[in-house]
Amino acid sequence: MAEPATATQAAAPAVPQLKDELDIVIPTIRNLDFLEMWRPFFQPYHLIIVQDGDPSKTIKVPDGFDYELYNRNDINRIVGPKASCISFKDSACRCFGYMVSKKKYIFTIDDDCFVAKDPSGKAINALEQHIKNLLSPSTPFFFNTLYDPFRDGADFVRGYPFSLREGVPTAVSHGLWLNIPDYDAPTQLVKPLERNTRFVDAVLTIPKGTLFPMCGMNLAFDRELIGPAMYFGLMGDGQPIGRYDDMWAGWCTKVICDHLALGVKTGLPYIYHSKASNPFVNLRKEYKGIFWQEEIIPFFQQIVLPKDCTTVQKCYIELAKQVKEKLSKVDPYFDKLAEAMVTWIEAWDELNPTGSSVTNGKAK
Amino acid sequence: MSLSIKDDEIDIVIGALRPDLTSFMSEWRPIFSRFHLIIVKDPDLKEELKIPEGFNLDVYKKPDIDCLVGTSTSTIFSGYSCRYFGYLVSRKKYIISVDDDCYPAKDNKGILVDAVAQHITNLTTPATPFFFNTLYDPFTEGADFVRGYPFSLRSGVQCALSCGLWLNLADYDAPTQALKPEERNSRYVDAVLTVPARTLMPISGINIAFNREVIGPALLPSLRLGGEGKFRWETMEDIWSGMCVKVACDHLGLGVKSGMPYVWRNDRGDAIASLRKEWEGVKLMEEVVPFFQSVRLPREATTTEDCVAEVANVVKEQLGSKDPIFARAAKAMVDWVMLWKSVGSSTSSPGA
């Protein structure tokens, strides 16, 4: 049975890598007690707290953390009418944190995620592993059967062409979860007691041309390389769908990464996910998504981005255009979403004026 | 082991490149003894094979190979390619094949890995090549499809090939092993995953299993290096064959899995000595990979034999002029399809 590490087991690294280049974005509607457990690993870093729900409520941040906190009033004030693209009453609001950050890297984590233990019992510094993943290349063009060749103790296998061994920059590091796995509502209902106790000691690059379900619970990315693609969509209050925010961002991000020759890694690090949300509530939120994804997936699989989309923003605007053209017939929601995607890019560029049209990688 | 698979649907094929198989067979006895084994002796090996008693097996040597395919053809089964003869003459549905310098491995809990059982599990549960599951094999105990995985893709497709891995001496090429002479693989990754459709990979022949009925003809001896030798560092035959298999599987809607089971691969050979020979193979991969990534098989290719014949065609057209090694490989592939049709094409019913 998986167990979280206790606070005393977590030992801070001697030198916190990238401490001035990385922001930790945390959406919350409840409280931030979970930060106590992460303190040895997180304290050197700057936090961006995005407070969802009632802005008049005070969310207490544990002492000793350096942070900025934004509630709905702040969001409205900062982006004005463009705040319409930021979800309310859904953790999708976290992407506001990505937008206002001034750092190169983002790590985002849910407030019910704790420090996990590896099979030897040692506390896992998830942030450190994400940083390792982001700072080493990805290998999307050819699958390495020994997984990440840049990890200690591994390498490229026989038959792997040398010309592909430099790899490409890593844009996204997708971590996993012990204990409560990220299942959808129907699976949760069928297997309410299933717990993920399997520690898979691997990081691997998701190959080019392959989509995956990106979970936002334990995620890091290079904001400079891919930030504008990390829009978590329109969810929650007033929207017909929920629990597809990270999925949507993941599909858009993967298509753009594939186009710009950037890498997406998945696997380590693990966190310990402690709360199983109510499957009936989840079912109501996901219900439409379960049907819509049958149309959405082929849409993303068949997208071709034109060669002149050489920046993330250009790719994203093109995506929004195609969403409007091809997915509106599925539901008028996609019309709204396509518009929100454009609003998001406008807001992003407003808040991040310098370097916003830097060419990222080579368009294929 | 799946209850619906009978032991007599499985052949274990071993290519013997070294004469003394005593310790190999003894170590594998607890796992292999219930199955029928096909041992194929490298036709170039002069010494007599030493095989311990107590196994249900058939041994094929040069005279047997010559007799079945003729002396001029039997050269294609030299070295590591001798195992393909075993695949050809087998009449079983599933084949499991490991190199003769590999032993059973132990997992993270110190328990002996039943490589046969794991390969069979891989082959008899669906593969999921069209969308990546972040919790790896969803059909494994304690795992499932994650949120966001489309329901219409959850039944998966038939798995045709299971690629295992290696502890201790990993399947590195000679330059890599020469640069890191002490490096040994000690990381046991507790996962099986489906390699996505249209994603290519180096398929090592050291520890594999496949559904012979479905994909048999695509595992073939065809690319032979000029300096091909008796160490894996001196071959690319399995890598080439693996590319054909993956392209065929992608075209036919079949799955390929990679990951467990692990075998323990013994130290053998000298990477630096092999470096000189294998450099040829390393250079060839620069052509081979982009080529296979560009191959598109026509709709009319509906069987594995069709796929192999088509690939052979394209190899001849596009690579044949670049290096005679490819022209020879293309011819070998065409010959193989004919050989398979005449010698290898049937599966007997279980119990026969």
B20 or B271, which is more confident?
Answer: B20
The overall average pLDDT reported for chain B is 93
Distances (CA, A) of B200 to A143, B37, B49, B216, B251: 6, 30, 37, 19, 13
Q: Which residue of A has its CA nearest to B109?
A: A119
Distance, CA of B331 to CA of B343 (rounded, Å):
18
Please check whether residue A356 lies inside any domain of the structure: no
Closest CA to B259 of B210, B160, B190: B190
CB contact under 8 A, B173 and A157: yes
What average pLDDT does this structure show over B258-285? 86
What average pLDDT does this structure show over B323-339? 94
Which of A213, A266, A294 is nearest residue B148 as measured by Cβ atoms?
A213
Q: What is the pLDDT of residues B168-178, one digit of tens each?
A: 999 999 899 99
Is 50 exceeded by the pLDDT of residue B3? yes
Cα(first)–Cα(last) distance of chain B, in Å?
21
Identity at A186, one-letter amino acid code: P
Please check whether residue A172 lies inside any domain of the structure: yes
CB contact under 8 A, A143 and B132: no
Q: Name which of B132, B147, B240 to mutate to probe chain A: the one with the most chain A Cβ atoms within 10 A of its Cβ.
A: B147
Is 70 exceeded by the pLDDT of residue B241? yes
Which of A153, A161, A243 is nearest residue B187 as measured by Cβ atoms?
A153
| pLDDT computed for residue A1 by the predictor | 53
Strands (E), A71-112: 105-109
Which of B150, B190, B202 is nearest residue A159 as measured by Cβ atoms?
B202
Q: Name which of B146, B167, B179 to mutate to probe chain A: the one with the most chain A Cβ atoms within 10 A of its Cβ.
A: B146
Please check whether residue A154 lies inside any domain of the structure: yes
Please check whether residue A16 lies inside any domain of the structure: no
Task: Determine the structural domain holding residue A28 and report its residue range.
Answer: 22-351
CATH number at residue A298: 3.90.550
CB contact under 8 A, B199 and A146: no
Please check whether residue A121 lies inside any domain of the structure: yes
Distance, CA of B157 to CA of B136 (rounded, Å):
15
| pLDDT computed for residue B350 by the predictor | 42
Q: Name which of A158, A176, A208 to mutate to probe chain B: the one with the most chain B Cβ atoms within 10 A of its Cβ.
A: A158
Among A7-11, A137-141, B96-100, B321-325, the minimum mean pLDDT is found in: A7-11
Query: What ipTM goes with this model?
Result: 0.94
CB contact under 8 A, B144 and A153: no
| Residue A285: its H or E element | helix A279-302
What average pLDDT does this structure show over B265-292? 86
pTM (predicted TM-score): 0.94
Query: Looking at the complex, does the CB of residue A252 fall below 8 Å from at least one CB of chain B?
Result: no
What's the domain count of chain A? Answer: 1
Among B152-166, B179-193, B200-214, B269-283, the minimum mean pLDDT is found in: B269-283
Minimum distance, in Å, between the CA of residue B220 and any CA atom of chain A? 17
Pairing relation of β-strands A263-273 and A203-205? antiparallel
Distances (CA, A) of B65 to B60, B75, B95: 7, 9, 19
Which positions of chain A have pLDDT values less than 50? 356-364
A-chain CB neighbours of B152 within 8 Å are 294
3-class DSSP assignment, residue B128: coil
| pLDDT computed for residue B233 by the predictor | 82
Query: Looking at the complex, does the CB of residue A198 fall below 8 Å from at least one CB of chain B?
Result: yes
In chain B, where the domains are located? 103-344
The strand pairing partners of B127, in sequence order, are B157
Which of B144, B150, B204 is nearest residue A293 as measured by Cβ atoms?
B150
CA B74 and chain centroid, separation: 20
Angle formed by the axes of helices A312-327 and A333-351, to 10°? 170
| pLDDT computed for residue B4 by the predictor | 64
| Residue A171: its H or E element | strand A170-179
CB contact under 8 A, B150 and A294: yes
B-chain CB neighbours of A253 within 8 Å are none
Query: Looking at the complex, does the CB of residue A271 fall below 8 Å from at least one CB of chain B?
Result: no
| pLDDT computed for residue A364 by the predictor | 36
Query: Looking at the complex, does the CB of residue A209 fall below 8 Å from at least one CB of chain B?
Result: yes
What average pLDDT does this structure show over B322-344? 93
CB contact under 8 A, B134 and A207: no
How wide is the angle at C-alpha A240 spanned by C-alphas A234 and A244, nearest 5°? 55
Confidence of residue B89 (pLDDT cuts 50, 70, 90): very high
